[in-house]
């Protein structure tokens, strides 16, 4: 019976041709479909207008999905004199093919923006479609995550596609993680999916071991040399690492007046704790006074504050920050330094 | 879904000058508006942004509440141009208040530096209005100059119900004398610790700039105050006010949500907390 089941299932599993048909269906439904595309050796999200030649890319896209859900800049309200009118910026979109490493970042953003009407509005209209290929470059998976079926109940998605490479062809298993995901597959006329119930971000075996290790180190063992001599003198505070990081979400809220008198927009813009005015209050007084304090604050947020608040790591190890840093600061090396109990200071530059 | 960032328009009922650079705004309270001393609101002036202000009035007063704003920059300058009868947007109240329940049974030491008197005023007024409910209370308040003194019209009333010690950093006139009417001395607020006989086993509520905390906490520790009996209000840059934007982070806390009032016990080990 079980064998029969497996055989039957096997025949109904999608092939690449069927997967492309599903993509065409989404495009026809007027969704903006974003997916990682490789061009001239550069992988990045692009809008799909058709499914021709579509393949899942087993490499990390340069940018993550972050800005589809948390744009660099968005209008929250229009105002006229004293009146604020809430603006809805959401549109129907599909983020197609988020890898399991980046999906961990989505779990975090979902927590952070749990009560945020703009994020939630956008999520309502967004189909999150994950896929199982872990980035093959080790520097884009610094915590060595593996794809195993049991990670799915700790990730959030509408649909998740497991890519199974066979000898003759590749097959695609479908899982759903929400009613929205089931609905769209039902409408498409595909029913061979398995539904996964989200069991929260923390695995049965308990909190992430790396998270506990780095939290302890940052909290209880301040490495003066590392922060003040090494990183504090090398980082040029460009903020690129914040911009590219899928879990960096700190923001400003600012008003932008129109030319018309008394009207304008209240905007949210992604910010960075590397910018010198991040902590500034009136009288130019700052709480983060130098580069060392700022870069420590950045690491502390990811490896202590977020773990304390949500019991999950604030870094998924995608390695993007190391890739963009103009002075070569490499998070992997910084973390090994944190893990190193001797006060010896190695160069944390790659 | 409920929008946390949406402001409510409220009418300004009264505006008074407080000291030389501040104005006290009496604002009509929205329906069901309740707050406790130490909490703050975000004031919104479209075109000029939003900024946090401590609510500084008597929490028992239900129809209106007060904020006292010093003119220091873009938003506060605009706020100072507002006229009686006009409206501002607000959201809140936000944050954790001073634990006033705790001092129904214990003596209380209030220490304020500069604008730090603002979030402590609701505590003072609550105590004066329900004097029997509370124990012995001392207030040490230090300001820079005479012109910086806030709520000076109320000092006689304050003196009637609590031990009030006042000091100014800089004397006013050329002769170096302070006007007698303030019954105050020269020096910084920590100097008052030598004047006042501080009650042992009291709870301390502090509000002032970071330098004040360094010195006051040192004094309190000399007097054997326990870390969990010292409460202080932190100031940080704020944007969201609801624990998301991370501008106000102190260690693993967000000052807007977990604070602004913290016990020293909770934050003493955090680098850069004060
Ligand atoms: C919990 C809390 C309670 C406060 N209570 C009072 C009070 O009762 N009375 C009073 O006069 N002041 C109070 N302040 C300080 C007041 O918020 C600032 O003076 C005000 O934000 C200055 O705004 P501005 O636009 O006039 O100044 P600018 O210097 O022009 O400000 C420019 C930018 O800096 C930001 N900014 C500057 N200072 C602060 C600050 N301290 N906190 C947050 N953001 C800041 C603003 O968001 C603005 O975008 C309080 C601050 C906090 C954190
Ligand atoms: S901190 Fe660096 S490695 Fe970690 S999630 Fe952000 S970009 Fe990726
Ligand atoms: S990218 Fe590198 S130099 Fe730029 S802020 Fe980040 S750590 Fe500093
Ligand atoms: S003001 Fe945004 S987190 Fe506190």
**pLDDT tens digits for B186-244?**
888 888 888 888 998 899 999 999 999 999 999 999 999 999 999 999 999 999 999 99
**Structural domain count of chain A:** 2
- Would you call A253 and B239 a contact, using CB atoms and an 8 Å cutoff? yes
Segments in chain A below pLDDT 50: 344-345
Give me ligand 3 centre to Cα A269, in Å.
Answer: 19
**Domain end point (choices A160, A195, A230):** A195
Name all residues whose Cβ lies below 6 A of ligand 3: A 235-241, 274, 324-327, 329
pLDDT at A5: 58
How many Cβ atoms are within 10 Å of A179's Cβ, its own excluded? 10
Tell me the residue range of the domain where A137 lies. Answer: 2-195
pLDDT at A3: 62
Give me ligand 1 centre to Cα B6, in Å.
Answer: 19
Contact of B39 with B54, CB cutoff 8 Å: yes
pLDDT at B20: 85
Do both A107 and A44 map to the same domain?
yes
Domain CATH for B180: 3.40.50.80
Half-sphere exposure for A254 (CA within 13 Å, toward CB): 10
**Domain end point (choices B71, B93, B115):** B93
Do both A58 and A186 map to the same domain?
yes
User: A261 to each of A264, A305, B81, how far by Cα in Å?
Assistant: 8, 42, 17
User: A152 to each of A198, A203, A307, A318, B13, how far by Cα in Å?
Assistant: 8, 10, 21, 18, 57
Do both B74 and B111 map to the same domain?
no
Contact of B170 with B144, CB cutoff 8 Å: yes
Do both B119 and B217 map to the same domain?
yes
Do both B48 and B126 map to the same domain?
no
pLDDT at A14: 81
Rounded to 5 degrees, what are φ and ψ at A233? Answer: -100, -20
The b-or-e profile of A187-196 (16+ CB within 10 A means b, else e) is eeebeebeeb
Whether A160 is covered by a domain: the verdict is yes
Ligand 4 neighbour B256 (Cβ under 6 A): yes
Contact of B112 with B158, CB cutoff 8 Å: no
Alpha-carbon distance of B49 to A67, in angstroms, equals 24
DSSP string spanning A279-310?
Answer: T--GGG--SS-SHHHHHHHHHHIIIIIHHHHH
Do both B149 and B251 map to the same domain?
yes
Do both A33 and A173 map to the same domain?
yes
Tell me the residue range of the domain where B163 lies. Answer: 100-267
Residues of B in contact with A84 (CB under 8 A): 6-7, 44, 46, 89
Whether B3 is covered by a domain: the verdict is no
Do both A171 and A308 map to the same domain?
no
Whether A110 is covered by a domain: the verdict is yes
**Tell me: the pLDDT tens digits for A262-318?**
899 999 999 999 999 999 998 889 999 999 999 999 999 999 999 999 999 999 999
Whether A248 is covered by a domain: the verdict is yes
- Would you call A86 and B6 a contact, using CB atoms and an 8 Å cutoff? yes
Q: Which of A77, A112, A266 sits opposite B244 (nearest CB)?
A: A112
Do both A219 and A129 map to the same domain?
no
Do both B130 and B259 map to the same domain?
yes
Which burial class, exposed, middle or buried, applies to A5 when counting CB atoms under 10 A from its CB (0-12, 13-18, 19+)?
exposed
Whether B274 is covered by a domain: the verdict is no
Which atom of ligand 2 approaches the CA of A248 most closely? 6
Give me ligand 3 centre to Cα A276, in Å.
Answer: 13
Do both B201 and B71 map to the same domain?
no
Do both A146 and A223 map to the same domain?
no
Ligand 4 neighbour B238 (Cβ under 6 A): yes
Interface of B with A (CB under 8 A): 1-7, 9, 44, 46-50, 72-73, 76, 87-89, 235-237, 239-240, 242, 244-247, 249, 251-252, 271-272
Do both A252 and A296 map to the same domain?
yes
How many Cβ atoms are within 10 Å of A134's Cβ, its own excluded? 17
Q: Determine if the pTM surpasses 0.95.
A: no
Do both A166 and A45 map to the same domain?
yes
Rounded to 5 degrees, what are φ and ψ at A17? Answer: -65, -40
Strand residue runs (E) in A199-297: 251-257, 263-270
Do both A83 and A125 map to the same domain?
yes
Whether A307 is covered by a domain: the verdict is yes
Whether B1 is covered by a domain: the verdict is no
Do both B115 and B200 map to the same domain?
yes
pLDDT at B137: 96
**Structural domain count of chain B:** 2
**Domain end point (choices B45, B76, B93):** B93
Whether B201 is covered by a domain: the verdict is yes
Token pair of B36, please?
Answer: 């406790």
Which atom of ligand 2 approaches the CA of A322 most closely? 2
Do both A100 and A160 map to the same domain?
yes
Ligand 1 test: best mutation among A268, A269, A282, most atoms within 8 Å of CB?
A282
Do both A216 and A131 map to the same domain?
no
Residues of A in contact with B73 (CB under 8 A): 282
Domain CATH for B56: 2.40.30.10
Ligand 4 neighbour B244 (Cβ under 6 A): yes
Do both B17 and B87 map to the same domain?
yes
First-last CA distance in chain B? 37
Do both B89 and B104 map to the same domain?
no
Do both B86 and B140 map to the same domain?
no
Do both A111 and A220 map to the same domain?
no
Do both B138 and B70 map to the same domain?
no
Ligand 4 test: best mutation among B39, B235, B248, most atoms within 8 Å of CB?
B248
The mean pLDDT value of chain B amounts to 93
**Domain end point (choices A141, A164, A195):** A195
**Domain end point (choices B60, B93, B126):** B93
Segments in chain B below pLDDT 50: none
**Which of A7, A14, A317, A43 minimizes the C-alpha distance to A189?**
A14
**Domain end point (choices A139, A160, A195):** A195
pLDDT at B172: 67
Whether A247 is covered by a domain: the verdict is yes
Whether A347 is covered by a domain: the verdict is no
């Amino acid at each position: 019976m079980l064998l029969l089941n497996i055989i039957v299932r096997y025949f109904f599993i999608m092939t690449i041709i069927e997967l492309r048909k599903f993509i065409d269906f989404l495009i026809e439904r007027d969704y903006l479909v974003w997916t990682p595309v490789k061009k001239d050796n550069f992988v990045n999200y692009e809008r799909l207008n058709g499914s021709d030649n579509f393949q899942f890319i087993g490499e990390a896209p340069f940018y993550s999905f972050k800005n589809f859900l948390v744009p660099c800049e968005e209008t929250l309200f229009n105002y006229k004199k004293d009146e604020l009118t809430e603006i809805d910026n959401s549109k129907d979109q599909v983020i197609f093919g988020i890898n399991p490493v980046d999906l961990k970042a989505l779990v975090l953003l979902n927590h952070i923006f749990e009560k945020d009407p703009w994020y939630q509005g956008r999520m309502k209209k967004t189909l999150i479609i994950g896929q199982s290929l872990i980035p093959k470059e080790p520097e884009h998976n610094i915590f060595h995550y593996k794809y195993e079926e049991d990670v799915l109940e700790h990730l959030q998605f509408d649909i998740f596609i497991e890519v199974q490479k066979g000898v003759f062809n590749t097959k695609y298993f479908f899982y759903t993680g929400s009613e929205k995901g089931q609905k769209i597959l039902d409408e498409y006329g595909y029913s061979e999916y398995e539904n996964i119930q989200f069991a929260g971000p923390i695995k049965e075996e308990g909190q992430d071991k790396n998270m506990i290790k780095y939290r302890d180190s940052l909290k209880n063992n301040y490495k003066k040399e590392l922060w003040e001599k090494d990183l504090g003198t090398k980082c040029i505070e460009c903020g690129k690492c914040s911009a590219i990081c899928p879990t960096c979400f700190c923001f400003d809220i600012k008003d932008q007046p129109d030319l018309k008198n008394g009207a304008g927009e209240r905007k949210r813009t992604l910010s960075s704790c590397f910018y010198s005015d991040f902590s500034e209050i009136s009288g130019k007084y700052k709480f983060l006074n130098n580069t060392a304090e700022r870069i420590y604050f950045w690491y502390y947020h990811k490896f202590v504050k977020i773990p304390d608040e949500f019991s999950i790591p604030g870094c998924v190890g995608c390695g993007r920050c190391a890739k963009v840093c103009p002075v070569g600061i490499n998070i992997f090396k910084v973390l090994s330094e944190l893990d190193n109990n001797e006060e010896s200071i190695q160069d944390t530059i790659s | 879904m409920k929008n946390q960032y949406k402001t409510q328009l409220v009418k300004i009922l009264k505006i008074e000058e407080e000291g030389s650079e501040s104005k006290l705004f009496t604002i009509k309270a929205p329906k069901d508006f309740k707050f406790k001393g130490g909490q703050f609101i975000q004031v919104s002036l479209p075109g000029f942004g939003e900024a946090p202000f401590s609510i500084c009035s008597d929490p028992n007063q239900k129809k209106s509440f007060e904020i006292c704003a010093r003119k220091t920059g873009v938003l506060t300058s605009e706020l100072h141009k507002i006229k009686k009868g006009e409206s501002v947007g607000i959201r809140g109240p936000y944050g954790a208040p001073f634990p006033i329940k705790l001092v129904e049974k214990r003596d209380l030491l209030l220490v304020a530096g500069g604008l730090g008197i603002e979030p402590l005023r609701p505590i003072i007024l609550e105590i004066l209005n329900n004097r029997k409910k509370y124990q012995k209370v001392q207030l040490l308040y230090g300001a820079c100059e005479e012109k910086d003194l806030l709520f000076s019209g109320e000092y006689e009333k304050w003196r009637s119900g609590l031990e009030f010690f006042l000091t100014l950093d800089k004397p006013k006139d050329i002769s170096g004398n302070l006007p007698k009417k303030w019954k105050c001395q020269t020096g910084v607020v920590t100097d008052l610790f030598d004047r006042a006989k501080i009650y042992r086993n009291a709870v301390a509520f502090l509000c002032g700039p970071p330098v004040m905390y360094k010195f006051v906490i040192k004094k309190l520790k000399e007097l054997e105050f326990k870390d969990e009996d010292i409460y202080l209000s932190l100031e940080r840059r704020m944007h969201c006010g609801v624990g998301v934007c991370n501008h106000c982070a102190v260690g693993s806390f967000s000052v807007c949500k977990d604070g602004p009032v913290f016990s020293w016990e909770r934050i003493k080990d955090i680098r850069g907390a004060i």
